Amino acid sequence: MNKLPLLHKNAYLTIVVKDNAIWSHLAYVDYNSEVQYILSDYTDISHLRRRLDDPIFFQGFWNEYFTLLQKTFGWEFMETLDKNLNRVMEFKDENYGLSGIKVLVDDNQDFLVNIFHSITQYSHDIAVRVMDKPHMRKMIGKFAEKLGYRNLLYIDLDIDSFQIYRVDRENKNKRDNKLPIQYKYEEISQQWSSEIAVIDSIKNKKLRAFLAADIDSQQLQNSWANLILHPVDVLLDQNLLDILRSFTTVQLLSLFTDNRSKLTEMGEGNTLIILGGKIPRLLGKKMTLLTVIDGLELYGHFDVAWDNDCKVLAYAISTSEGIGSSDIVIGKNDVLSGITKVLIPELKSKRAVNKVIFSGSIDSQDFNREKILLLGDTFEMVDIDNKINKVIFEGKFEENVYIPSLENKKVEFISSPMGTKYDNLLIDSRLRPIIYGTDSYKNKLKINKWLNAN
């Protein structure tokens, strides 16, 4: 396929299949008219997973799926040549045709081979790729270059699979004094072989140390088994939320303990952590951050982005390649949701508890200056109100904390609709080391304090 010029009117569809779900993102750009957007659709196929190994089922599935997708998007892009073969309609204009379709299938997806072959049988025009280790290395390496981060981690947290991909652009292999030819990559993985194995994993004795829910072992196992066997997209049961938080913390702590050398220096600045997978969608931002910080024992300061709808998986490579992209030229802000700036200082002593440890301000032409004062031993999230103009954040930690990764303990950043957009600031000033209670009641008091601080 020819490389696309920057000001090319274009439309492209990328589909991500992972964790028994289908995420479809149709990107349209017209730079001459300054129009660009992404149409998105989510389809849960977990209730069909018992049939994903049936080739006959798949013969009709993709035909029905693409027919409904065209109606959902209000966009014509497939035509049938005969009953067994379909063609992607050539892109003509907005709402008609595409320059291409690509399907990315997670290498942990059930019945991957069946999905792969069934799509190619449905249409020879659709490119199918597997999101395996080489693909993820390419994605995080290019995306780190595009965004300018030294370290970039993609942490994919599905209930039956935990995967961490990391690139460090400062550790480079050099040859003959030429430019660096390779960055340092790390992969960490924890996977369960079956639903039964995931259900049994809840019997880990370490889980009780993190639980805040006051439930007996039988209720714990029954609730967990029900969640695994009957997946949901929204989790309202507070006990199940607490079980999932505890489970995730234990698994991340185990991964960190076994792979400590691969997860060093993440809090020393110039690091972006992208959180994807089903668990962050179920837990929400603040609880997910609490879980990841405690599970991976994070410190210092770093940025966190959220890939709840798989847009990063779908278009990070295209965004990174820019005008060199072979599918579509799309901006990073169309792919990345708002970023959370995370600051984790260490209190110098218990005397800093409930004392002011940080003061700052948020300023913009869109609203009056907002002053911020934060106390020690809290877990506070501050929302940043992005409207039209830039938002300027300035702040400084007091002398009663220790955060060596920040020069002069100052925090300064700009949130811009056209640049890097920050939606939140999280300051975790809890007294270290983090000690969960000796029973669920003490854990409940602590977690309620942390999560309901603001």
**29 pLDDT exceeds 90?**
yes
- Does 146 reside within a domain? no
Return the pLDDT at 324: 87
Q: Are residues 176 and 87 in the same domain?
A: no
Q: Are residues 97 and 161 in the same domain?
A: no
Q: In this predicted structure, which of 106-115, 212-221, 376-385, 394-403 has the lowest mean pLDDT?
A: 106-115
- Does 50 reside within a domain? yes
Give the largest Cα separation in the chain, rounded. 76
**Contact yes or no for 62/122 (Cβ under 8 A):** yes
Vertex 300 angle, CA 185 and 254, to 5° = 55
Return the pLDDT at 449: 93
Q: Are residues 48 and 197 in the same domain?
A: no
Mean pLDDT of 316-340: 91
Mean pLDDT of 26-41: 93
Confidence band for 50, pLDDT divided at 50, 70 and 90? low
pLDDT digits over 108-157, tens only? 887 888 888 889 889 999 999 999 999 999 999 999 999 999 999 999 99
Q: In this predicted structure, which of 48-57, 230-239, 296-305, 392-401 has the lowest mean pLDDT?
A: 48-57
Which residues, 6 or more positions from 230, have their beta carbon under 8 angstroms from its beta carbon? Answer: none
- Does 144 reside within a domain? no
- Quick one: 397 exposed, middle or buried, by C-beta within 10 A (0-12, 13-18, 19+)? buried
Return the pLDDT at 338: 86
Q: Are residues 119 and 199 in the same domain?
A: no
**251 pLDDT exceeds 50?**
yes
Number of domains in the chain: 2
Residue 212 is encoded by which pair of tokens?
């805040």
Percent of the chain clearing pLDDT 90 (strictly above): 75
Q: Closest Cα partner for 45 from 102, 132, 116, 111?
A: 111
How far, in Å, CA of 220 to CA of 242, rounded? 10
Q: Are residues 374 and 435 in the same domain?
A: yes
Q: Are residues 113 and 184 in the same domain?
A: no
pTM given for the model:
0.93
- Does 420 reside within a domain? yes
- Does 189 reside within a domain? yes
Q: Are residues 34 and 95 in the same domain?
A: yes
**316 pLDDT exceeds 70?**
yes
Higher pLDDT among residues 109 and 38, named by residue: 38
**Contact yes or no for 436/210 (Cβ under 8 A):** yes
Return the pLDDT at 56: 57
Cross-strand partners of 73: none
Return the pLDDT at 34: 86
Q: Are residues 333 and 389 in the same domain?
A: yes
Where are the strands (E) in 174-249, listed by range? 182-191
Confidence band for 3, pLDDT divided at 50, 70 and 90? very low
- Does 139 reside within a domain? no
Mean pLDDT of 3-12: 68
- Does 142 reside within a domain? no
Q: Which residue has the tokens 């962050």?
A: 280
Q: Which of 114, 131, 148 is the last residue of a domain?
A: 131
Q: Are residues 165 and 121 in the same domain?
A: no
Confidence band for 100, pLDDT divided at 50, 70 and 90? very high
Q: Are residues 201 and 341 in the same domain?
A: yes
pLDDT digits over 156-196, tens only? 999 999 999 999 998 555 443 444 457 999 999 999 988 99
Q: Are residues 110 and 207 in the same domain?
A: no
Q: Which residue has the tokens 């639903």?
A: 195
AA identity, residue 5: P
- Does 150 reside within a domain? no
Q: Are residues 205 and 81 in the same domain?
A: no
pLDDT digits over 270-286, tens only? 999 999 999 999 999 99
The CATH number linked to 44 is: 3.30.420
Q: Domain containing 54: what range?
A: 10-131
